[in-house]
Amino acid sequence: MPVKSPVLPHLHLLAKAPLPGQAKTRLIPCLGPEGAAQAHATMVRHCVATACQALGSQNVTLWTSLEHQHPLFVELQSHYGISLAAQLQGDLGMRVRHALNSTQGPSMVMGTDCPSITVAMLRQCSSALKDVPVVILPAEDGGYGLIGTHDDHPSLFKNIPWGTEQVLQVTRQRLEALSLEAIFPDTMWDIDRPEDWQRWQQTLKHANSL
């Protein structure tokens, strides 16, 4: 059980540069290559704003890929004062683990295709991580949108069937094998398919009408 600490966790966000044909390709059938790239950029901006509101920009790092000096990344760093870092080469597990271990103290990793993760969810995860070794936001599709830890646990990220509905199930099995207590404060959903994008647009429309 980790020692209670008032220190906020550092939040690491993973983001591709919004290059047409290389970002959010499963949205191309409904939005086209340019539209899918613009949708991705919108999600990255949303997630960075949410992260900074929840934890403060000094506790946020945006890990970039494809084009590390893309104008979107430069814009976000200039506007919010967040840190930028280049993602490692390798599978998702390697990149997540590297980000988690790159800062001292508790840390969390989140994708930037998860605009359903709210300020309240991030603060809830941050608070939960004071009391347990691991915090996870499960996704409706069987994966997860955020993981937070205090220490390095390699088996949580090695040989995981990333991109499948077994991700959370396998991760739970690894947690049990390590005798690690975890908290799952809420459930989120990410944006992979056209119907996910439409769902988010409806969510925004509803929020703006309140």
Share of residues in the chain with pLDDT > 90 (%) = 92
Strands of the sheet with 182-183, listed across from one edge: 83-86, 60-65, 10-16, 107-111, 144-149, 134-138, 182-183
> Rounded to an integer, what distance in angstroms lies between the CA atom of residue 57 and that of residue 93?
25
Per-residue pLDDT reduced to its tens digit, 122-163: 999 999 999 999 999 999 999 999 999 999 999 999 999 999
Q: What is the pLDDT of residue 206?
A: 80
Take residue 65 and report the two structure tokens written for it: 């890929």
> Rounded to an integer, what distance in angstroms lies between the CA atom of residue 206 and that of residue 108?
29
**Nearest by Cα to 91 from 172, 34, 161, 1:** 161
Amino acid type, 16: K
Contact of 50 with 123, CB cutoff 8 Å: no
Contact of 50 with 82, CB cutoff 8 Å: no
> Rounded to an integer, what distance in angstroms lies between the CA atom of residue 145 and that of residue 110?
6
- pLDDT score of 68 more than 60: yes
- pLDDT score of 6 more than 80: no
- pLDDT score of 2 more than 50: no
Per-residue pLDDT reduced to its tens digit, 93-111: 999 999 999 999 999 999 9
Q: What is the pLDDT of residue 4?
A: 56
Q: Tell me the mean pLDDT in the region 27-51.
A: 97
Share of residues in the chain with pLDDT > 70 (%) = 97
Split at pLDDT 50, 70, 90, the class of 208 is confident
Between 60 and 6, where is the model more confident?
Answer: 60
- pLDDT score of 80 more than 60: yes
Q: What is the pLDDT of residue 7?
A: 79
Q: Return mean pLDDT, the chain.
A: 95
- pLDDT score of 1 more than 80: no
111-123: b (≥16 Cβ within 10 Å) or e? bbbbbbbeeebbe
Q: What is the pLDDT of residue 3?
A: 46
pTM assigned to the model: 0.94
Contact of 69 with 53, CB cutoff 8 Å: no
CA 89 to chain centre: 18
**Spatial CB neighbours of 44, under 8 Å, sequence gap ≥ 6:** 13, 15, 18, 62, 72, 76, 112
